[in-house]
Every structure is written in C-alpha cells, then in structure tokens.
Structure 1
Amino acid sequence: MQLSRMRFSYFWYSSSHHLSPLKRWQVSSLLVACGTSLCSSISSSPVTGASRTSQAQFSSLTHIRRIFCRSNSLVSEEFESKMEVVKAVLRVESAALDKVALTAGGRDYTYAEVLRAAFRISSLVEKKDAINGVVANGEEKQVDAETGRKPDGPRIGIMAKPCAEFVASMWAAWLNGAVAVPLALSYPEVELIHVLTDADISVVVATEEYKEILEKVVEKSPGVKLYILPPVSSENDSVVTQSLDKLLVEVQSRASNLSGEEAALIIYTSGTTGRPKGVVHTQGGLGAQVRMLSETWEYSADDRFLHCLPLHHVHGLINSLLAPLYTGATVDLLPKFSTSGVWQRWRDSYPLGGEPADSPITAFTGVPTVYVRLLQGYEAMDAETQKASAYAAKQLRLMMCGSSALPLPVMEQWEAVTGHRLLERYGMTEFGMGLTNPVRGERRPSFVGQPFPGVEITIDDSDSDVKGVGELCLKSPSMFREYWRQPKVTKESFTEDGFFRTGDTVTIEDGYVKILGRTSVDILKVGGFKLSALEIEAVLLEHPAIAECAVLGLPDKDYGELMCAVIVPPEAKAKEAAATSEPVLTLKELHQWAKEKLAPYKLPQKLYIWESIPRNALGKVNKKELKKTLLESAT
C-alpha cells in the first residue's frame, strides 16, 4: 500500500555519553509522493526555540536510538538499556538518594526509602510464592522459539491511590522481572475480574482501603493471590539496614538477566469499542519514553511536580510520575484532584509578598476538565485570594494539557489569569507521547505540535476527499510491543511499512499537527460533507450559555448523519433559566448566533441540554456511549 503522506523524523544527537541539559537536535523532513522520496536536512530551526544548533547531516531516515545515562560507576550503557524504568534508583551518590522523591499524605519519602520499600515488597511477595522471582534468583530464561525472545515475567496487579506504596510496588515488580499492571480505582467488580483473568495476573498488591473489594474479586479469580501492602517506612528491618551500595549492586545484578525486550507494563485501554485491551510496553520502550519526555520538556532534579491524575493512564503514570522520577525530580502526589487543594498548594509555594517555599512547585500537567474546574474555582474566590492565586500560578515554569482537546476559550482564559499558554501535546496508550508543542518557542492554540525526537509521522489520506487530511500514522522507539494475546488485532493496527494507525484524523500546517478528531466518532459525514466535530465544538464553546459541549452524528436516511450538539450550561445560566422556566438556549438562537462563525452545513440540527456530560477518569467524553444513550432515548 502506498500512502500520500508527509513524514517528519526527529533524531537524538549527543557528542558524549552524558545526558546534557541542552540536547542538540537534528531535524530532518522527508516528503513522500507516489512512492518517490525527497530528503532534505534542516540545520537551523531548533524544535523548542532554545539555543540549540544541529550537528551531523543525515541522508536517510534512520533512528539513532543511543542510550543516554549520567556518569555513574555502577551503571553501564548495557545496564541502562535493560532497566531504564528504574533509572531513578540508580544513583550512587547518597545525597541524591536522600533527596525527596515523593510527597504523599503529608509525608516526604526519599528515593532511598522508596527503593528499600521496593525490595521489601519484592521479598515479601516472593515468600508467599506469588511470583517465581526468576530475576531475583538469577535464573536464565530460554528464548521462546515462536516469539524469538525470552518469555515475559509474571503479571502483578497494583491497586492503590497515588502514594509511595504504588511507586514502590512498580519498582518491586520490575526488580523481579515481573510485569506491572496498574488497576483503575474506578473499575467495578466485573472489570477487575476481566483484567485479572485476561492478563493472567499472579498476584494483586494493594493498599488497605481496597482490601474488601479485592477479596471478593480474587475469590472469583482462580490462581490470583492478594497481598496488602505495608506502609513505606523506615522500620529497622533487614532491608532498611542494608547499605544503599549493596542494594544498588543488587539492582544491577537483577538487571543483568533482562534484555530490554521483556514486557514491563500492561495498561488497559478504556474499552470504548469493546472490552478493554491490554497494551504491552517493554523495558526498552518505557526507557525511550521517559528519556524523550524529560529531555524535550526539560525536566530536571530541580523540578517539583504537583500530581493529581489517575495512575492507570500514560498521562498520570509516565508524563507526571515516571519521567519526573527519572530525572531525580520530586513529585507531590494528591490522592485525587481538588480545585481548592491545587490552588492552595501553589499559593503555599509562592506566597504573595513573601519568599518562595524551599522546594516550590515548578510544573503541573492536567486534562482540559482540570483547567475548567480550576478556572471555576478561581472565579469563586474573593478578589484578594484571586490576586494571590494568579501570582502564584505565574511562577511555575511549565503547565501542560492533554488527553483530550483543549477548548480555545479555556486556553485563552487560563492565559489571561495565569500568564501561561498551556503546552498541548498528543499521545496514546500505545506509544505514550508522540507530538508536542515546544517548551521554548511558538505554542499554537488548537495544535498539538511536532513529533518528539525519534518519532516519525505520516498522514494516510488515501480515503480522504482532501489531500493532506487523513489518518495520523506513527513510528516511535516508545511504541508498544503488542496488544496482550491479540496478535491479529496487533497486526491490523500497523501499516505494511510499520506505522501505527492512530485512528485520529489530522492535518498539518507549517509543520504543526492539528487533530480534527477520532475518525470513528469525530469525523461526521453530513450531506456529502466530512466535518470535524472538534472544530464545531470549539466554536460552540464560545457561546456564553455553553460551558461544556459534545458534537456527534446520529444516523439519518437523507443526510447520512444528522449533527447533534449536547451542551451543559454554566451554573448561573442554568439557575436563571430554571427560575424563569425558559430554556437556557434554543436551537434557533444557537443558529442565529453561529451563522457568522460556521457555514450553514456545519450548524447542529438537534440540541440537547443536559446537566452534565459523562466522562471517563481523564475527562474524555465517551461519544460511543453518548450516541447509544441518544439513540435509545429516541426509540
């Protein structure tokens, strides 16, 4: 299959083995038309706008997948490639290990404490015969004839709110050569049973608050054992009293039995098109991901992240936790998102008229719904608190947004309040992050930026009416290995030349990618027109009577699909409408307002006013379920 497409490829470049805070990038673009390629090297425009200059010239699209690591007497390049995901614990300097890694529940936890807790959990779980511990025992696995690689380790389910015990459990799994499987805290019993059975999980480790539900689930899941995690502490046991040097040598010993190709993590998709699928990430793939993120977004040991996202998604797990820990940063873990809690934490870091805290928050990442709620919280403050909050937010060095489209009005209002133009990026469970706006340089509203270093993208417009508009396809060193035990689905998800089909329709303008929506639900076919639901939603959200909005198509015999808009009005507008018994907005009023902003064929033909729009844990609207609800209500 030949695709009419544009490729972008970004390369790692380093003149030394050390991880430089200002990496030099080589940017190369390749335009492919009708199977003929034209390659040109660009040696001047830095990706982020920082003072970076390109070096070597490349004449072909070749990924340079060199492993970067800090100078360390215990760490070899080979070792790094085998257990990159535990990079944060591989620091021989005691000062670095004594640095605070996590804050949770009002307590600080150093890197050394979390490492020791990981060994403690590893040892206790092994004693219960829950996993085979082949890595810890130094046993050499044989290569499987069918797959050509060594078999994966046992799967360990992890169920805990964001806390030190969660991180220690993941490290414990990897130190044992096992596969970590984070479990969603919102999973009902039937979903938990499905994941435990599908992943063939050996043991579930969990904090005390999930004991009751998991005891019921484990009872219905033959072969699965439950282990309740002890608190991460500094108790005087054999692990705690071991020297850090000994523990680090033990880490190196265990890593020597890994190749980097083994599964390290299985994340289950949200299951919007059926039962959730297990997405398998390898040790090497995770290593590539944390390196790309920390370098491109300039994470450092001086950073302190405020974390309020679920840990069973790549956004909360990799972007906001593993990548910061990889660089030696500190992560403040909130058990769940709280509007007042986030604003207060920022004000504590940067008090108005006072000195910043000793270790202030420097970075924050959220989903659009988080920023909407923060703005609502800001509007409810008195003038003095607003002034202090806006001042504090302005002091952070980086604020990012992703996981779903960021409405332009939200971006503009956030920038007006805090001075931050949110950095939008694009990713999926299957490869982590693939595209990003720059830390330094132009951040384009409604665009998700350019490829990360090492990432290639193409656009498959073979089924499109408009050249240059089509499905985004992507290659990345962080690409998942497979859908767990679904080889056919895995194969169908890639093009013949190895690009992953994202299922998102995009266009590219001046090298920046714009997501038009999920091909399956956000590209509407109305009367011969292909329309972007996201584009229309962005316009409708400018209306003063619309706080939230979802545009989707319902089957129609005349037009193919009939465009519908489900809206949620602002609380004040809803109360006003209820008091007068008048609708907050009519379809006629919406058309009258929108006719200067949208072509006639882009105007919704049905309007639904709801109190809320159902969303998943990351704030995404499940449009397939929304469409199902609307169709059922119409029958």
Structure 2
Amino acid sequence: MAGTSTFMEVVKAAAKQGSAACDSVAIRADQKSYSYQQLVSSAVNISRFLSSEDLNSSAGNGHLNGACVGIIAKPSAEFVAGILGTWLSGGVAVPLALSYPEAELLHVLKDSDVSIILSTEDYHELMQNVAAKSSAKCSLIPSVPVGRTEAEKAPLENFHSSHERGEEDPALIVYTSGTTGKPKGAVHTHKSISAQVRTLTDAWEYTSSDHIHVHGLFNALLAPLYAGSTVEFMTKFSVRGIWQRWCESYHEGIKADDAITVFTGVPTMYTRLIQGYEAMGTDLQAASASAARNLRLMMCGSSALPYPVMQRWEAITGHRLLERYGMTEFVMAISNPLKGERRGGTVGKPFPGVEVKILEDESGNDAPGVGELCIRSPSLFKEYWKLPEVTRESFIEGGFFKTGDAVRVDEDGYYLIMGRTSADIMKVGGYKLSALEIEAILLEANKDYGEVVCAIIVPEEEAKRKCAEELKPAITLDELCTWAKDKLAPYKLPTRLFLWDSLPRNAMGKDEVVIKAKILGSKLKQNFDIPSEQEASNP
C-alpha cells in the first residue's frame, strides 16, 4: 500500500516475531485469548485460501483485485481474521449482520456482487442456503487456533502482501440499517479506515495497556487493534455478566492482568446496567461501584443519552459518560473530550481534521446556527455502492456530506443533535421544533428507567408525529404538561399521550421509529398525518 502507518501495516508489524506485541492478546472471546501473531497468521491462511479460489480470474495470480467477500460470524477472532485476510488478498470485506433476515442477506449479497461468503460453523448451513440463491460461493472460516502451532511460529514476513491494494481503493462496504428502504452500501477505502483509527487512537489515547469491552466495528475494534490493545467481545449483552466482569477486573481494589479499562455501549445498555445495580444487595452494590470506578473510560453512542441516565450513572460509578457522534458514512466526527468538560446533552466538538458546515433553513425560520450538519473528513466514505446519483445528492459543494441530522452549536462550540431533519424536526403553529430537545426535557420527569410513556406532539395542518420515551408511566397528560410548562414554551407542550409497555428497538438499542409510526397510525386514525417510511426513518 502507498503511504505510511496504514492500519494493515501496523497490525502486521505487531504480529511479527520479536515485536513487543507479537504474543500479547489481540482478541478475547468465549473465555479464550488470541495473540496478534495468531490473529494475523490466521488472516494470512485465509488470504491464501481466497487467492487460491481465483474469485477474480481477470486479475490473475490469485489476486482478488477488489472482489467482494461476505463475512458472517458472531463477534470473534474468526470475524476479525476474515476481514484482515480479505484485505491481505486484495479483496473488499462486506460484513453481514447477524440480524438480517434471508431476504435482506440476499439483497446485500446480490447488490455488492459478493463472490464468496466466509462463515463460521454456526451460520454455515444458513449461508449455504442463501448462497444457493445467489452467485456466491460459501466456505467456512477456519477457527483461529488458541495454542501455538508451527505455522504460527513461522515469520510472517515470508508472506508477501503484494496483493494489497492502494489507499484509495475500496476496503470495506458497510450496509446502512435500511430504514429508508433497502440498505445502501457505504464504501470505505483503506485510507479512510486508517484515518479513522489514527484519529480515535489519538483522541481516546488507546494504548497496548488497554483492554476494551466492546460493541462497534471501528471505534471499539479496529482503533484499539491499531494501538496494540486487547479487544474483548461480548457475545451477548448480559447485565450480570458485565458487572461480574468488572468486579473480577478489580477485586478488592487489585487490578487483574486482564482487567477491563474501557467500556463502550448504547443508552439502553446503561439503563439496564443501572436497573441491575439497583437490584443488587448493599455489599454487591459497593463492590460493583468500586470496580466500575477503576475503568479508564466509559463511552456512549448510537442514540441520544437521556440526561437522567447520565446523572445516575455518574452517581454510581463516578464516570461522566463520553458521548460522541458518528454514522456509517464517516464513523466518528464529533466527540466530547477525553480530558476536559464533557457537556451533558451534547456530542462535543469536531475531531481535529474534521470540517463542519451547517445548512440553515432557507426560509429563515431557524435560529442562527441551527440547521443540517454537513461533514468533510479524512474518514469520509467514498460512495454508496452502485448508487452514483444517490451519492451525488448526498454531498454539497466542497465535498461536504449531508448527514440529515439537524444540529445546534452552543456558545462554547459544543454540538447538540436536534434530530433527523426528515423525522425529528416538525412544524407546530408556525414554529420549527426538535422532538429530541423536547424529549430531553420530558425525560427529566422519569425516575423509573425501565418504563415507557410516549408523549405525542400533535402539529397543526401538515404536522407530523413525534414521541418521547421512557417517562414515568403513571403520569397523565395534564400532570406532564403542568410539570413541563416552566421548562418548555407553550407551543412545545405535548397535546396527546399514549402509553405502551415497551417500544420496538433495533440491534443497537435504538428505537424503531418507522414501527412506532405505524403503531401510532392505528391509534390516531385520521387525526393527523403520519410520515411515510422514508420520512420517519433514521438511517
């Protein structure tokens, strides 16, 4: 590859015999640990297999030359080795979501022109059936061995990585959630990946001493591996398991060799961890809180963090959660600081090297500094796969990507996400309102983090629905409005209230906005317009 300090160069260097990181743990999953050398040795074997398959015969010499490789596996060393092996052989990795139904898997396979699917044993039968309906082959990802073998002891420099591609070539296609229709493939290059991992490593000071408890691909996987950290996968979310793992890390104040130092999650995870903590006995609470305070960093993202949850978590653990902002197309662009003020209700300030523009409403109805957020960054994706027109429409002059998120910047330069311009911003009585801003205020009424109430703002005329969640369920509309009238302008007060036991969420813990709109449609009948699936979505 051209350039210096690319992601693959750093990981391969860490795996070489004699390097400081060679035998250090790269991945921990299912109570097993895998070194950097074991991980990259497995990637080399996968690369040799892919090259021998001659998936792109026009390239010759077994070089994949940009052929797409689908990868499906639970969070594991095999998943990481599959991605690295694809890159070593000159291919483009296409991660396949475990939550995809068969129809969506087929769409992604056909849309991305996947030549071969790499699958672990537990998904192999499913993927063979899916592959039979497409032009893709299907093969098992070989298990990453736990013990040392002769092959792994061999110097990795014997493998000539001439198959790797240039910095500007595609490396990864990540499909969006598909809430605006069928999923779109966001194409990241080797350059954009390397830029992102360097940015996050610097911003959050990842080092080889870190042990990260994770969800996420870039911020909690590739960036730590770039820094030589250990990544520990949660195979499934477990409140008891997480608290127990932290207690084991810092038993009676003594730090274990494999102690967790960084944790990253979504708001729903922290809500459930609070519930789990409050159900503990006094002694276990004390031990759990003490252990959690020893972690170096705790982060939260993917959706807005309710302020009461942030406050309660800080009271329990001493950690002010670090909120940040990103999306598939550029991964991370804005973050509260590692050191310095982490301002609740905001996502912080742009990373170094990230440029921001705010497109204000042409009608002039928006307050100054409020509008659609546009981003230009070295980590920005290249294009939407095979969608040139959609790609063009997603950018403005100067190469700034239109995020579709409305933002406001406070007096100190901290960014507040006001919501999706297509779903969370609405007109009521001639005023433009942010549903997320109103939601944040209404959530302060909540003292029971596990229950849900939806407050519905009913706009006039062309008005659109919005709901705020996780409020105290016994409250009435009058009580809610009485409580909120000193905090919200009259035109921001809710006019309808609907109660549900729960709301649908996706795999990341986000609300399924489209489903909520459909539920509301059956309740509200013709009283006001429900937005279309595209309008109501949050990609």
Using the size of structure 1 for normalisation, the TM-score is 0.78
Residues 1:340 and 2:247 aligned together: no
Question: Is 2:394 the partner of 1:471?
Answer: no
Alignment partner, residue 512 of structure 2? 622
1:286 aligns with 2:196: no
Who is 1:327 aligned against? 227
Question: Aligned to 1:561, what secondary structure does the other structure show?
Answer: coil
Residue by residue, what CA displacement relative to the aligned partner does 1:225-244 show, whole Å, maximum 9, x if unpaired?
11112211167877435323
Note if 1:80 corresponds to 2:4.
yes
Cα separation, partners in 2 of 1:549 and 1:164, compared to 1, 3 Å? farther
User: 1:373-431: CA deviations, max 9, x gaps?
Assistant: 11111111111111011001100111111111111101110100000101111111111
**Equivalent of 2:204 in 297, 311, 321:** 297
Q: Tell me the equivalent position of 1:521.
A: 423
> Where do 1:127-146 residues align within 5 Å?
127-130=52-55, 134=59, 137=62
> Identity percentage over the alignment?
50
User: Residues 520 and 135 (structure 1 numbering): CA distance in 2 closer, same or farther, change over 3 Å?
Assistant: farther
Aligned 8 A contact 2:250 2:294 in 1 = yes
Query: Quick check: 1:285–1:480 contact (8 Å CA) kept in 2?
Result: yes
Residue identity in the other structure for 2:68: R
Q: Is residue 349–residue 360 contact of structure 1 (8 Å, CA) maintained in 2?
A: yes
Q: 1:241, 1:396 → 2: CA distance?
A: 34
Root mean square deviation, CA, Å = 2.2
Kindly indicate whether the alpha-carbon contact (under 8 Å) linking 2:456 and 2:495 is maintained by their aligned counterparts in 1: no
Q: Identify the residue that residue 220 of structure 1 maps to in structure 2.
A: 133
SS in 2 for 1:593: helix
1:153-185 C-alpha deviation (Å, 9 max, x unpaired) = 011111101000000000000001111111110
Question: Which letter maps to 2:420?
Answer: R
Q: 1:210 to 1:476 in 2, by over 3 A?
A: same
**Mapping for residues 290-439 of structure 1, pairs under 5 Å:** 290-307=197-214, 309=215, 316-352=216-252, 354-439=253-338
Deviations 1:497-548 (CA, angstroms, capped at 9, x unpaired): 2211111111112111111111111112111111111111111112236644
State which of 246, 253, 264 in structure 1 corresponds to 2:158.
Answer: 246
Q: TM-score, structure 2 length as denominator?
A: 0.91
* More displaced 10-residue stretch of structure 1: 559-568 or 335-344: 559-568
Is the partner of 1:90 in helix, strand or coil?
Answer: helix
Counterparts in 2 of 1:401 and 1:364: CA distance versus 1, 3 Å: same
Structure 2 CA distance for partners of 1:482 and 1:135, relative to 1, 3 Å: farther
Residues 1:106 and 2:31 aligned together: yes
Larger mean Cα displacement after TM superposition, 375-384 or 227-236? 227-236
Q: Is the 8 A contact 1:159 1:185 kept in 2?
A: yes
Letter of the 2:50 partner, please give it: V
Query: Which of 10, 13, 28 matches 1:90?
Result: 13
Q: Which residue of 2 aligns with 1:209?
A: 122
Describe how 1:143-222 pairs up with structure 2 within 5 A.
Answer: 153-221=66-134
**Structure 1 CA distance, aligned partners of 2:109 and 2:456?**
34
Contact 1:552 1:627 (C-alpha < 8 Å) held by counterparts: no
Contact 1:367 1:401 in 2 (8 A): yes
Structure 2 Cα separation of the partners of residues 288 and 552 of structure 1 = 42
| Distance change >3 Å, CA 566–CA 294, structure 1 → 2 | closer
Any idea what the Cα deviations from partners look like across 1:240-269, whole Å, max 9, x if unmatched?
A: 35323424xx23x344xx221110000001
SS in 2 for 1:97: coil
Alignment partners' CA distance in 1, 2:212 and 2:35? 15
Q: Which whole-Å CA distance do the structure 2 matches of 1:483 and 1:549 have between them?
A: 37
The Cα shift of 1:597 comes to 2.1
The alpha-carbon distance between structure 1 residues 401 and 175, as it changes in their structure 2 partners (threshold 3 A), is same
Determine the structure 1 residue equivalent to 2:438: 536
Partner of 1:607: 497
Which of 450, 467, 474 matches 1:565?
Answer: 467
| CA distance in 1 between partners of 2:336 and 2:19 (Å) | 36
1:348 Cα deviation from its structure 2 partner: 0.5
d(CA) in 2 for partners of 1:567 and 1:234?
45
Q: Is the deviation greater in 598-607 or in 361-370?
A: 598-607
SS in 2 for 1:489: helix
For the residues of structure 1 that align with 2:123 and 2:453, how far apart are their CA atoms? 35
Letter in 2 for 1:321: L
Instruction: Tell whether the 8 Å contact from 2:292 to 2:317 is kept in structure 1 after alignment.
Output: yes
Report the 3-state secondary structure (helix = DSSP H, G, I; strand = E; otherwise coil) of the residue aligned with 1:80.
Answer: coil
Q: Is the 8 A contact 1:568 1:613 kept in 2?
A: no
Contact 1:180 1:265 in 2 (8 A): yes
Match for residue 42 of structure 1? none
SS in 2 for 1:226: strand
Equivalent AA in structure 2 for residue 629 of structure 1? I
1:230 to 132, 142, 159: 142
Equivalent position amino acid for 1:338 in 2: S
Contact 2:54/2:60, CA 8 A, preserved across alignment:
no
Deviation of 1:602 after TM superposition, in Å, equals 1.1
Q: CA deviation at 1:134?
A: 5.0
Aligned counterparts of 2:483 and 2:128: Cα–Cα separation in 1: 56
1: CA distance between counterparts of 2:494 and 2:327? 29
State the alpha-carbon separation in 1 of the partners of residues 299 and 58 from structure 2: 39
Q: Distance in 2 between matches of 1:236 and 1:320?
A: 26
Rounded Cα–Cα distance in structure 1 between residues aligned with 2:524 and 2:418:
28
In the alignment, is the contact (CA less than 8 A) between 1:266 and 1:279 conserved in 2?
yes
Cα distance in 2, alignment partners of residues 622 and 400 from structure 1: 22
Shift of 1:368: 0.9
Report whether the alignment pairs 1:274 with 2:175.
Answer: no
**Greater Cα offset, 202-211 or 476-485:** 202-211
* Alpha carbons of structure 1 residues 564 and 259: separation in structure 2 relative to 1, 3 Å: closer
Aligned to 1:444: 343
1:282-336 deviation digits (Å, cap 9, x = unpaired):
00010000000000111111111012x2xxxxxx000000000000000111112
| Closer/same/farther in 2, CA of residues 567 and 428 from structure 1, 3 Å limit | closer
3-state SS in 1 of match to 2:326 = strand
Matches within 5 A, 1:13-52: none
Give the match's secondary structure for 1:432.
coil
SS at match of 1:227: strand
In 1, Cα distance between the equivalents of 2:519 and 2:419? 21
Aligned to 2:384: 483
Separation in 2 of the partners of 1:167 and 1:424? 26
The corresponding residue for 1:117 is 42
CA displacement, residues 415-472 of structure 1 (integer Å, 9 cap, x when unaligned): 0000010111111111110001111111111111111111100111143412211111
Tell me if the contact between 2:404 and 2:420 (Cα under 8 Å) persists in the aligned partners.
yes
Determine the C-alpha separation between the residues in 2 that align with 1:282 and 1:376: 41
In structure 2, C-alpha distance between the alignment counterparts of 1:437 and 1:235, rounded to whole Å? 41
Specify the code of the residue in structure 1 equivalent to 2:120. Answer: T
Q: Give the 3 Å change call, closer, same or farther, for CA 609–229 of structure 1 in structure 2.
A: same
Give the aligned residue type for 2:368: K
CA gap 1:546/1:235 in 2 versus in 1, 3 angstroms? closer
